[in-house]
Chain A
Amino acid sequence: DGGITQSPKYLFRKEGQNVTLSCEQNLNHDAMYWYRQDPGQGLRLIYYSQIVNDFQKGDIAEGYSVSREKKESFPLTVTSAQKNPTAFYLCASSNQSKGGRAFFGQGTRLTVV
């Protein structure tokens, strides 16, 4: 939504392969987030980053890795250690000085076969 781009929209990978999901924002937001959503369920926090070159684990970080080398970009790698990677992945960004209201991308649906 408005300035946050996730790509690709759909992604298929073979079991055991690492895959990287892209998230770019042009809103000049300091904070960025990655969430996982399974069918019929809520959003669970994987990783979040408040500033460049710093990030923190969320509630389900195992099997995932991130980097924050640029303010605009927060890529998520789903590694082979993630036991059940098939899910809908959502990226968000926010301006903490404006209450932390986060804006979301349109998501990437990852299917591992």
Chain B
Amino acid sequence: GESVGLHLPTLSVQEGDNSIINCAYSNSASDYFIWYKQESGKGPQFIIDIRSNMDKRQGQRVTVLLNKTVKHLSLQIAATQPGDSAVYFCAENRSNQGGKLIFGQGTELSVKP
């Protein structure tokens, strides 16, 4: 969904554990879903994306899962490190709205050493 006026949920994990960050989306016609990482005071950085005709995609230490039935997206980070501490956003690319790119609420990940 669209992020308006809400403070970010937080997730705290121990270094070395796996992290799972979740996101719900609203537009069933979105054709790409994207995860971003944002560090304080910086612009978001691309992590991984997934096309709507897939349900899983793996990158280096990250996996994205897409469940279109319940409009749910998740990002799994393996062996979480202190450098992974940041805010994570999901985004959906709505090709049926001229390529409108809408961001979800975001989750603040805190990694304890």
Q: Which residues of A contact B (CB under 8 A)?
A: 1, 6, 31, 33, 35, 40-45, 48, 50, 56, 58-59, 90, 92, 94, 96, 99-107, 109
For chain B, the count of residues having a C-beta within 8 Å of the partner chain is: 32
B3's partner among A41, A96, A104, A109 (CB-CB below 8 A) is: A41
Binds A, one of B14-22, B41-49, B66-74, B78-86: B41-49
For A45, the chain B residues whose CB sits under 8 A away are 100-103
Q: Is B2 an interface residue (CB 8 A)?
A: yes
Measured CB to CB, the closest approach of chain B to A32, in angstroms, equals: 10
- The 8 A-B residue pairs with the shortest CB-CB distance, nearest first, are A42-B3, A104-B43, A100-B93, A43-B103, A99-B32, A42-B106, A104-B44, A106-B43
Contact of A44 among B2, B93, B95 (CB under 8 A): B2
B43: nearest chain-A partner, CB-CB: A104
Name the residue of chain B whose CB is nearest to the CB of A103. Answer: B46
- Chain B nearest CB, measured from A28 CB (Å): 16
Given A101-B49, A107-B43, A43–B3 Cβ distance below 8 Å? yes
Are the C-beta atoms of A41 and B5 separated by less than 8 Å? Answer: yes
- Measured between C-beta atoms, what is the minimum distance from A85 to chain B in Å? 17
Q: Does A42 lie within 8 Å of B43, measured CB to CB?
A: no
- Across the two chains, which residue of chain B brings its CB closest to A41? B3
Q: Are B103 and A101 in contact (CB under 8 A)?
A: no
**Contact indicator A100/B99 (Cβ below 8 Å):** yes
How many Å lie between the Cα of A101 and that of B33 in the bound state? Answer: 9
* A50 touching B6, Cβ below 8 Å: no
B34-67 with Cβ < 8 A to chain A: 34, 36, 41-46, 49, 51
